[in-house]
Structures are given as C-alpha cells and as structure tokens.
Structure 1
Amino acid sequence: MKIAPVLTSFLTFGGAGKSPSRWARLLGISTGLVYLCFPVGDIVTGPVTGARVFWGVLGLVAFVAFFLATVLVPRSYDRLPPLAWGLLGVTTLLGVCLPFSFGGNWLTLPIYTTVAYSLMLRSRLAVLGMLAMSVVIVLVGVLRKNDPATTMVLVFQVLSLGTLFISMRNTRMLLVKLRQAQDEVARLAAGEERLRIARDLHDLLGHSLSLIVLKSELAGRLAEGGPQRVLTEIRDIESVARQALVEVRDAVTGYRQRGLSGELDGARAALEAAGTRVTVRLSGTPLPDALDGLLGWAVREGATNVVRHAQAERCEIGVTHDGRTVTLEIVNDGCQVAPYSPGSGLAGLAERVEAAGGTVSAGPCATGFALRVAIPAAVESPA
C-alpha cells in the first residue's frame, strides 16, 4: 500500500510560498483517498458481513467527511481555531476505533490521521501524534495477527509521511515569513526614498525660499521709501522664485526619468523584493537617446503592474533594437483577474507611445501575462 506519492501531490498546488486554494487542496486530497479502496474492499468482498457492513460504511463515510473538513478548515500557520481542534479530535477517534473494530485493511486510516497532524500541528505535537498512530498500527497488527512485514511497512509509511509533511509545513511557514519580510523591506525602502527626496528638496529650496522671505520683508519696509526700490526687490523675488521652480522641476525630473538602465535596475530591485525572479535581456544596436526615457517609463509601468497584480514567480524583460524598431517585452507567469481590462497606467503609457508612432499591446498569454511596446527608432520620444 504505497500511499506517499499521491498524498504529497496536493501540497504542490499554488506554487512555492503561495497558499493553495481550498479547491486545489480538495483535488489533491481526493486523489490520495483512492487508497481507501482497502477498507472498501473489506466491505464489498471481504470479511465484513451482516450488520457490520452498515457500521463499516457509516464509519468510513464519517471518517472521510471529518478528515476532509479537518484539512480544509480555514486556519493560520501559528494558531488553530477551536473548530479545527474539534474536527481533528473526531478524525483521530474514528481513525483509531475503526481499525481496532474492523481489522488490518483499515490501517490506512491512521496514515491519513498522521497527515492531518503534520499539516495542522506544530512540529512537536505532530511528532507525538505520528508516534501514537504508529503504536495504534502495531497494536492492531498484534491483536488481529496481521502479517508482521505489512505492519512494519505501514509503520514506516506513518513515520516517513509524517516527517515529509512536517517538513513541507515548516517550509511553507518559512516562505510566508520571507514574503512578509520582503514586503517590510519594500515598505522601508519606499520610506527611505521619500526621506531622501524630502532632504534633497529641502536642500534645494531652503536657500531660495529664505531669500524670497527676506526680500519680501525688505520690499515691505521699502514701500514707504519709493516705488522704484520696491519694484527692484519684487523683480529679485520673482527671479529667485523662478530659479527655485526650475530647480524643483529638475529634481523631480531626475527622480522620475532615470532612463532605461536606471529603470531596469529599479525594476529588478522591486520585483526581487516582491519574491519574483527577474531575467533581463538586451540585444541589438544601442538604444537611441531620444527613446531612452520613454522605454524607461514603460519598464517602470510594467514592473509596477507585475508587483501589484500578478503575484508572479518569474518575470522576463527583453529590449531589442534591430536598427529600425525598438521593442520592449515584459512577460510574467502570474495570474490575472479575468476578464482583463487595462488600467489608467497602461492607458497613459499607450498615449505616450502612440504619440511617438509606436504601439502597445498587453494581455494574457500562454505563459501568464505579456506587455509589448514597439517604437520606430527614427521617431523622437515625446516630452
């Protein structure tokens, strides 16, 4: 009775670090339940006869129902709700009593009970439950005079499956904590960037605004002395204010338009912080300077959409320049909400690209989701 290959399958639904949906887990668990054919065989063709058939069917149906309810009940990794404890208790009771009542072929039930322990309990409690189910299998084997070799195989399956599922649960807990840490790192990075911008703007504007205040006060005091001197000071104020405005615009432009290489570095950092593996490919002749900022804008918008909406594990960014056309492709393997509808960010990007004579296409593809931007190399990027 080799049960491990099928029972382990349902934990792979949803990908590494992602919680499988309830339907995905139900599908995997239902596949593992095929090994209940052994107790079913006892009822249909085996030694279970007479009134025991009714109780056997009732007990088996109850066990399956409570086992499925137990492993599918909503829960967190660090805490079980009271409902989960109750369901686990009933599942344990049925998993112990039915083998004692009906014999050796029903010893697959403690194996499923062990799986429930390993999925739901902390490692120490799961190990205790695994050992307890091993004792149950040995006792039933001795009382029912089962083949010792078969009994040892069942004990080995309990121990190996219990260890395997405990390891899987611990791995998922670590992945959840890793994602939380990545989110915190991204949040702190964004906060640090805001502080840096605030410091830079303070340094840029501090002197100019202080001078504007001083000259405004001076103009007010000179208003009594004659209009010509007041006019001179007001013109100085206007000049300083215009210079400050130019400096602010230059600073903001520097932050928002870093060019393609800077945006590729920023996209890689943001995606990797969100847990997405990034591959960047550049091919062809050097990119025209006129399109550098526009392609950087497209990379930033595409990477932002992947981080916010895709929950992707992999993302590929490719930039190709064949001498006539510059092409940017951003493909990720994340899921998208159906039906797909472009947001305001992609709409704004499309307007800018179309103003440069290019095209933008975005939507689901065979591997997930793809954003493609194609721009004639001879057309200058819009300001």
Structure 2
Amino acid sequence: MSFANLLTFGGADGVPSRKRRLFGISFGLVYMFFPIAEIASGEISGTRAVWASLSLVVFLVSYLATVLSPGSFNERGRWTLALLALTTVIGVGSSLIFGGSWLCLPVYTVVLYCMNFPPRQAFFSIGGMLAAVIGSGLITGTDPGSVTVLGVQVVTMGMLFIGVRNTRLLAQQLRDAEGEMARLAATDERLRIARDLHDLLGHSLSLIVLKAELAGRLAEGSPKVLNEIGDIESVARQALVEVREAVTGYRQRTMAEELDSARSALRAARVAAQVRVSGTPLPGLLDGLLAWAVREGTTNVIRHAEASRCEISVTSDMNHATLDIVDDGRGTGPYEMGSGLQGLTERIRAAGGEVETGPAPRGGFRLRVLVPVAVRAEAGS
C-alpha cells in the first residue's frame, strides 16, 4: 500500500480533494485481488461464495464511502463514524468467517482509524485490528506465516498513517499560524495609519478650529468676515469629526471588546444583559465580522426593542460560528429591516454565512448570525 503520499495531497485549501483520495486509495486496492481470486477460482463455492461476494462488495463500498465522506481526514462527521463502524464490522466479520487472504481486510480498516483519530485512540485501533487478525487466523487455521505478515502490516500501516495524519495536522496549524501572523501584521499597519492620521490631520484641524475662533473674535466688527470665518470653522470641525470616525474604523474592535461594550451599553439603557461565549477561538476576520454584528444587534436592541432583558450567545466549533441576540421587547417595527441590519446581512452573506431575523420563540426579537469559520477575505475588508 504505497499510496500514503498520494492520499495526503491537498487541494488549494489544504483539504484533500475527493478525486485525489480516490486516486490514492486505488493503488492499495490491489490486495483485493486475493479474496476475489478465491471466489473466482472456486476455492470458495456455493452459498459461501455468494455470501463472500456480497461481503466483499459491501466492504468495498463502505470503505470507499468512508474515505470520500465529507468529514473524512478532516473533522469526523456523523456519516464518517457510521461508515467506519460498518467497514469494521464487515472487515473483521469476513476475516473470521473466511480466513486466509480475507485477513487483509482489517489492514484497510486500521488505515481508516489512524487517519480519522488522534494517536492515542489510533494505537488502540492498531491493537484491536492486530488481535482481530491473529484471532481470525487461529480460528480459521490460516497459515501462521500469512498471519504474521498481515499482523506486521497492521502495525506498520497503522504507524505510517498516524504519521501521515500528524503531518497533515501540523501543516494545517502552520497555515493557520501564517494566516494569523498576516492578520496581526495587517492590524499593526492599520493601527499605525490610524495613529499617524490622527496625529497629523487631527492636530492640524484642531489648530485650524482654534485659529478660526480667534479670528472670529478679532473680526467682530465685520459681519461678512465673521460669516466666512464661521464657514471655515464649521468645515474644519466637520473634517475633524470625519477624521476621528475614519480612525475609529481603522482601529477594528475585537469580539471581546464589543461584548464588554454591549454589556455597558445595555446596562446604561436599563436592559439586563446575559452574555455567553463557548467553543473554539475565532479567526481574525471572523472575530471582526461577528464583533460588528454584536455592535449592530445591540444598537438595535437599545434603539428599537424597548426590552428589559437581552441575551447574547456566541458559539463556535471547527466549522461554524453562531451569534444569537435575543431580547424580550416588541419584536416588530423598524428594528426588523433597518439599514444597519440590511448592511449586516449583505456583509454576512458575502462571507458565505446567513442572517436570520424575526420574533423570538418566547416573545421579543431574535437576531441569529451563522458564519463558516473559513471566512472569505473580501468579507472582512
């Protein structure tokens, strides 16, 4: 089974594509020739041949389905575990019934375990499949030399694929670390620009405002001059406000900061706030995106909901992050389709996520944001 390297070839996102997986495992399936040969040659005949053929077909279909299942070799999904259990039952059961070359089936099974489970659990699977090979060999009277060879293959293939899985995980962690470093570098640059913008333009505009005020007091005898100076002061003040708003935009707040701000704002509005956060840490773009959603949702609660209680819940796993903001207010009116929520919806959809708004189950209003962890870069810009 020299298909280990082929099996680990990844796509553009680091996840092995299904075509590459299928191409890789096709090399290992040559060992299926021996059980098939026993059926074709008549060594297994009659009713046993029918059951053997059926078992082999079910095993191959289950094995391929496990390899190609969406969660395989990444995050184990419900279907991956169910298919893995079926593959194990068919593989071990067939080796116990037919013996001989059928003892190779647990070797295929141990590969799946070692690619889908962490090392500690994978070592148990190696021991289990090794016991299955030895036990099946003893029960069916298989040649001890063949049992020894297949037992060694169980151990060596198991160790090989534990290493393959660890290599994949390390490569993924490296990609995540590189992405985080790039995000931090971009954040530092944004903060530098914001600081320079505030220091340069902010100081200059403040000075213009002060000079305009002074000139206005010196020109009190000329209404026309006072009007012109008043215009200069007004424009300078507006420009100063816009600069500060731009600086605030560059200094993107984090989820933790927005949650703290939401607590304070709701408390000031006499709204009891309950905040719950659970799950894995959020990547940078997703953290900023949900922070904006928290700010927008909290603002709408304060302005439109007339609520006395608000619950903010953030949950995340390796695939998705979910934000729920539920209040006990009116649940109707401009809160439902405000321009802020419309803009939030557009930005969340650009990230591949969904926004749900509507009445809460127990009265009030609910805002739910569901975003995949792999947020597209354009959504965070």
Q: Give the TM-score taking structure 1 as reference length.
A: 0.56
Bigger Cα displacement from structure 2, 219-228 vs 175-184: 219-228
The equivalent of 1:378 in structure 2 is none
The equivalent of 1:62 in structure 2 is 58
The equivalent of 2:102 in structure 1 is 106
1:9–1:226: structure 2 CA closer, same or farther, 3 Å change rule? closer
Of the three residues 9, 17, 20, the one matched with 1:21 is 17
Deviations 1:189-234 (A, max 9, x none): 1111011011112222233212210122123323322479869979
Once the two structures are superposed, the pairs formed by residues 313-328 of structure 1 within 5 Å of their partners are none
1:38–1:232: structure 2 CA closer, same or farther, 3 Å change rule? closer
Of the three residues 123, 130, 140, the one matched with 1:127 is 123
> How far is the alpha carbon of 1:15 from its aligned partner?
6.8
The equivalent of 1:51 in structure 2 is 47
> How far is the alpha carbon of 1:159 from its aligned partner?
0.3
Of the three residues 165, 190, 202, the one matched with 1:194 is 190
CA contact (8 A) 1:73 1:84 kept: yes
CA contact (8 A) 1:17 1:176 kept: no
The equivalent of 1:140 in structure 2 is 136
1:233–1:140: structure 2 CA closer, same or farther, 3 Å change rule? closer
> How far is the alpha carbon of 1:165 from its aligned partner?
0.5
Q: Give the TM-score taking structure 2 as reference length.
A: 0.57
> How far is the alpha carbon of 1:117 from its aligned partner?
0.6
State the identity as a percent: 51
- Structure 2 stretches lacking a partner, 5+ long: 244-381
Of the three residues 167, 174, 181, the one matched with 2:177 is 181
Deviations 1:95-138 (A, max 9, x none): 11111111211111011001111111221221111111111111
- Structure 1 stretches lacking a partner, 5+ long: 249-383
> How far is the alpha carbon of 1:33 from its aligned partner?
1.0
Given residue 128 of structure 2, which amino acid in structure 1 is its aligned partner?
A
Deviations 1:14-38 (A, max 9, x none): 3798221011101211222121001
Of the three residues 90, 106, 117, the one matched with 2:113 is 117
Could you tell me how far apart the structure 2 residues matched to 1:41 and 1:96 are? 19
Could you tell me how far apart the structure 2 residues matched to 1:56 and 1:101 are? 9
Once the two structures are superposed, the pairs formed by residues 265-280 of structure 1 within 5 Å of their partners are none
SS at 1:48's partner residue? coil
1:116–1:228: structure 2 CA closer, same or farther, 3 Å change rule? closer
Given residue 126 of structure 1, which amino acid in structure 2 is its aligned partner?
A
Residue 220 of structure 2 corresponds to residue 224 of structure 1? yes
Moved runs in structure 1, 4+ residues, more than 4 A?
76-79, 227-234
How big is the alpha-carbon RMSD for the aligned residues of Structure 1 and Structure 2? Answer: 3.0
1:133–1:46: structure 2 CA closer, same or farther, 3 Å change rule? farther
Of the three residues 156, 165, 188, the one matched with 2:161 is 165
Residue 68 of structure 2 corresponds to residue 84 of structure 1? no
Q: Size of the alignment, in residue pairs?
A: 238
